[in-house]
Amino acid sequence: MDWTQRYELFCFDFDGLLVNTEMLHCKAYEQMLAHHGCFLSWSFYDYCDIAHYSTEALRDGVYDALPDLKKKQPDWNILREEKQAIYQKMLHDGKVEYMPGALELILSLEQTGKQMCVVTNSTSIQINAIKTALPDLERIPHWLTREDYGRPKPSSDGYLEAIKRYGKEGAQMIGFEDTVKGLRALQGTPITPILICPDDHPQLRHIDKTVHHFTSLTQITL
């Protein structure tokens, strides 16, 4: 497909799509639980299958697997804040890297003069820490972080705000996500949705076969 000719605005999720932070999120949860004397026998894909569906699904999955933890600390927000602190330290320790094909695609779009924006559930503090570690991310001119729109994904609020700010009337737009949660957000908009994840990812059983799916951004050539 000739992506350059067909589309004018390229929208991207962030965590797990452009950078490898999904693995860091998983490890941060593992460390947080370890601090409470808990252990989950989930693989990374198990984590992704639940966390990528919804925030509530992750909370419920953890509490169902660890009922003693729920008795000890029933406020999930407190546990999540502990996890966020661990994750933030990982970012400052420089453990973040580009996902395969991400930087190459960013550079190609920049060279062809295409509009790019990121729509992420991550906060501006988290994003700025990653930009410091990976400065070529600044080549993407437009960013919508969690503070910039209403409801988080799977709501379409973030992408609808991106269209409002950066989409021209009648323009063809395409969006890339690595989760079902993000895919649902795209599907509530006029943006063409693309799912990026490995062929053996369990989340594929949740999507319609008509959805365009690629194993990595390396397959998106301009």
Tens digits of residue pLDDT in 84-123? 899 888 888 877 899 999 999 999 999 999 999 999 999 9
Across the chain, mean pLDDT equals 91
Residues 65 and 143 in one domain: no
Query: CB-based contacts of 126: which residues, under 8 Å, 6+ apart?
Result: 87, 88, 91, 145
Confidence band of 142 (pLDDT split at 50, 70, 90): very high
Residues 47 and 104 in one domain: no
CB-based contact 24:188 (threshold 8 Å):
no
How confident is the model at residue 48, as a pLDDT?
A: 80
Residues 13 and 27 in one domain: no
Residues 154 and 208 in one domain: yes
Number of separate domains in the chain: 2
Residues 87 and 9 in one domain: no
Residue 185 confidence (pLDDT) above 90: yes
**Per-residue pLDDT reduced to its tens digit, 65-85:** 999 999 999 999 999 999 989
Question: Which of 52, 75, 92 delimits the end of a domain?
Answer: 92
| Residue 102 lies in domain | 3-19+98-219
Neighbours of 204 (CB within 10 A): 16
**Looking up tokens 């949740």, which residue turns up?**
206
pTM of the model: 0.83
How confident is the model at residue 210, as a pLDDT?
A: 83
Instruction: Determine whether 11 is exposed, middle or buried from the number of CB atoms within 10 Å of its CB (0-12, 13-18, 19+).
Output: buried
